Amino acid sequence: MKKIILLTAFLFSISFQAQKAVVKDVEKLIAKKAVFKSIQVLTPVTTIDKSRENIVKDAAYAKINMASVNDVVSQKYPTIEVSVPYHNENITVQLYRVEVLAEGFHLDTDKGKNVDYTPGVYYRGMVKDDENSIASFSFYNGQISAIISNQALSNLVIGKLKQAGNVDNYILYEDQNMQVSQDFDCHTDDKNIKGNLDTHRNEAATPQTFKCVSMYYELDYNMYQANGNNIYANADWLIAMFNNVQTLYANETVNIALKSVFMWTAPDPYSGGSSSDYRDQFGTLHGNFDGDVGQLMGVDPGGLGGVAAGIGGICTNSNYSYADIDPYYNDVPTYSWTVQVSTHENGHVFGARHTHACVWNGNNTCIDGCAGYAEGDCAVGPIPSASAKGTIMSYCHLVSGVGISFNNGFGPQVSDAVVSFVNNSSCLSTTCFEACINRVSNVMVSPTSTTSVSVTWSDTNGADQWEVSVTEASSEFELSEIVNTMTYTAIDLIPNAQYRVKVRPVCSEYLYTTFSEKLFTMGNLGVIDNTTIDFAFYPNPTKDVVNISAKTTIDEVMVYNIEGRLLYSKKVNAVDTTVDISSFAAGTYFFKMKSQDKEANFKVLKM
């Protein structure tokens, strides 16, 4: 069996991608000394029936450690390190917990609304020491499901075998070793453009989204039956699947969250002979779904494939798609293929065209030729190598020996197009999640030696991680660490120097809040009372004004650029004020607000 190591090779047109967002998130956590809780959830076995070689070659099998799974679900560790046994080797993945469900999430059926449901715990991350990798893990109801992707593995699927009474028998396989063809065909009309699309890559900067897309998923009756005629089993399956979809979009800095789910527990009203039939009926029946983008997932006869209502359908009445999938082949979970189909069809609604469309490379040519034809008037593109593989909006699953790697994501050009389209979609909000509120108080600094102090604080908001920094008050540089308890020790401090200690809760990778701060001087530990000001500011990002409201009188507001230059200063003497930055160039600006000898700092993105 090939070694699970980082390989180096020429990666077709995707070889020049910058480091992806999920890897950056993990490396930030490592730099902040986050503790990755070691988790052992799988034990390799050889006694399970291996009569599946005609379905998938070279699969591995394992038993689940139920106690470990339940421990993760109950403790909800912020960061974990999971060891995955695969063919006499261990693949170690480093993961951080993420929010999958949007604020106000609800689960509905044809029988009633707001089904009482307890979600699992969801993670994403990377293979340890492999910057060209991505992973997503879901822990729920005594189960796990996961996908790990890097160049050596392609896409490694971890899932429970669909066997009567099975509780702990799992299969691990690389989807490139599937022996049954995945003849998915996307029927989205490449000329059915609903929004303003941008297919010209900005080489000068890597874009990122500052908005969030809320998602609606609907499961047809056949899908409900495929998952055991059980509402909760279907919800578990869908949300775990969505965790992978969300991870793939997050890796391109595109934020999405699951807002609502509807499932048919009795025969649904959909029928037809094509994917377009199902899509159109879905749009007519449930076009007013709760979410920015919707998708009907079905198990329908004929291998209908998928189709979107239009390319760039966000903020229009064409903001939905249909995906025909098979969640299992016999008893083998076809997990990665379901994720691919869902991500691909949603991608069209998000403004992505196929990689074989004649719209790329700055000269209206194709990125690849995996479809065997070009959409438009240009030559068929090249075929990626077996080591490079294709991207999510490609048809490279149709080319034997090539396939699609989730580690490639959308590829740089398609990714830029999606990010640009999402950012320009005016109906979207900046977040899908509940606001992150700082309830840190009673920050205390106590000397432990002539060069070290102990910092403690209180938090009434139920946080389980905090970001802490202790830096010289005059320093422009700040190095913070993440801790799991409400205490922190700072060492190697300089006597008689003034320091600033800052503490804030870690909500998630999507949510940020202001710091609680104190100033102190080593030697006498004279502390300036500089605790949190109870205030709010909005909108962020903004095109023109920033509104600030506080419960105490605001004395002064100042605005600095990223170079530390003061651009704006205003005496206020009121609890509300407005700062107009419409004349400022697009970018990040730092606000400082003073109130009754206290001070608060926050960042605002000017669009």
Supply the pTM of this predicted model: 0.77
Average pLDDT over the chain reads 86
pLDDT at residue 350, rounded to an integer = 96
Q: Which has the minimum average pLDDT: 104-113, 191-200, 427-436?
A: 191-200
pLDDT of 519 reads 78
pLDDT, one tens digit per residue, over 348-372 is: 999 999 999 999 999 999 999 999 9
* pLDDT value for 530: 44
Q: How far apart are alpha carbons 351 and 254 in whole angstroms?
A: 12
**Is 407:6 a contact under the CB 8 Å cutoff?**
no
Distance (Å, rounded) from C-alpha 84 to C-alpha 272? 43
The helix, strand and coil proportions of the chain, stated in percent and rounded to the nearest 5, come to: 15, 35, 45
CA 62 to chain centre: 28
Q: What is the pLDDT of residues 57-80, one digit of tens each?
A: 999 999 999 999 999 999 999 999
Lowest mean pLDDT among 219-223, 264-268, 417-421, 501-505: 501-505
> Which secondary structure element, helix H or strand E, spans residue 589, and what is its range?
strand 587-595
pLDDT in tens, 580-592: 998 888 887 878 8
Q: How far apart are CA 7 and CA 152, in angstroms?
A: 7
What does the pLDDT look like over 481-536, one tens digit per residue? 888 899 999 888 887 778 889 898 887 654 556 677 877 777 655 444 445 577 77
Cα 290 to Cα 125, 260, 281, distances in angstroms: 29, 6, 17
pLDDT band for position 10 (cuts 50, 70, 90):
very low
Q: How confident is the model at residue 16 (pLDDT cuts 50, 70, 90)?
A: very low
Burial 549-571 (b: 16+ CB within 10 A, else e): ebeeebbebbbbeeeeeeebeee
What integer pLDDT is reported at residue 140 of this predicted model? 96
For the domain made up of 533-607, give the CATH fold. Immunoglobulin-like (2.60.40)
247 or 506, higher pLDDT:
247
Cβ distance 398 to 370 under 8 Å?
Answer: yes
Q: How is residue 368 written in tokens?
A: 């690849």
Of 92-96, 232-236, 409-413, 424-428, least confident by mean pLDDT is 424-428
Segments of the chain assigned to CATH 2.60.40.1220: 533-607
The answer on pLDDT for 413 being more than 60 is yes
Comparison of pLDDT for 434 and 246, the residue scoring more:
246
Q: Tell me the pLDDT band of 562, cut-offs 50, 70 and 90.
A: low
Residue 555 is predicted with a pLDDT of 92
In which band, very low, low, confident or very high, does the pLDDT at 566 lie, cut at 50, 70 and 90? confident
- Structure confidence by residue, pLDDT tens digits, 265-298: 999 999 998 989 999 999 999 878 999 999 999 9
What is the distance of C-alpha 202 from the center of its chain? 23
Read off the DSSP letter of residue 434: P
| 567 neighbors 559 (Cβ within 8 angstroms) | yes
Higher confidence at residue 191 or residue 381? 381
Domain with CATH 2.60.40.10 in the chain: 436-512
What's the pLDDT score for residue 368?
96
In this prediction, residue 441 carries a pLDDT of: 83
User: 101-139 burial, b for 16+ CB within 10 Å, e for fewer?
Assistant: bbeebebbbeeeeeeeeebbbbbbbbbbebebbbbbbbb
Asked if residues 145 and 240 have their Cβ atoms less than 8 Å apart, the reply is yes
State the pLDDT at residue 11. 36
Given a cut of 50, whether residue 190 has pLDDT beyond it is: yes
4 band by pLDDT with thresholds 50, 70 and 90:
very low
Q: Select the CATH number that applies to the domain covering 436-512 from these four: 2.40.30.10, 2.60.40.10, 3.20.20.70, 3.30.460.10.
A: 2.60.40.10
Question: With bands split at pLDDT 50, 70 and 90, how would you rate the model's confidence at 182?
Answer: low
Residue 118, pLDDT above cutoff 50: yes
3-state SS assignment for residue 27: helix
Pairing of strands 212-219, 255-263: parallel
On whether the 12-423 domain is CATH 3.40.390.10, my answer is yes
Q: Per residue in 544-554, pLDDT tens? A: 999 888 888 99
144-153 pLDDT, tens digit each? 999 999 998 8
What integer is the mean pLDDT of 415-420? 94
> What pLDDT sits at residue 192?
64
What is the distance between the terminal CA atoms of the chain, rounded to a whole angstrom? 51
Most confidently predicted of 95-99, 444-448, 522-526, 588-592: 95-99
How confident is the model over 24-44, as pLDDT tens digits? 999 999 998 899 999 999 999
Report pLDDT for 6: 32
Where are the CATH 3.40.390.10 domain residues in the chain?
12-423
Question: In the prediction, which pLDDT does 209 show?
Answer: 80
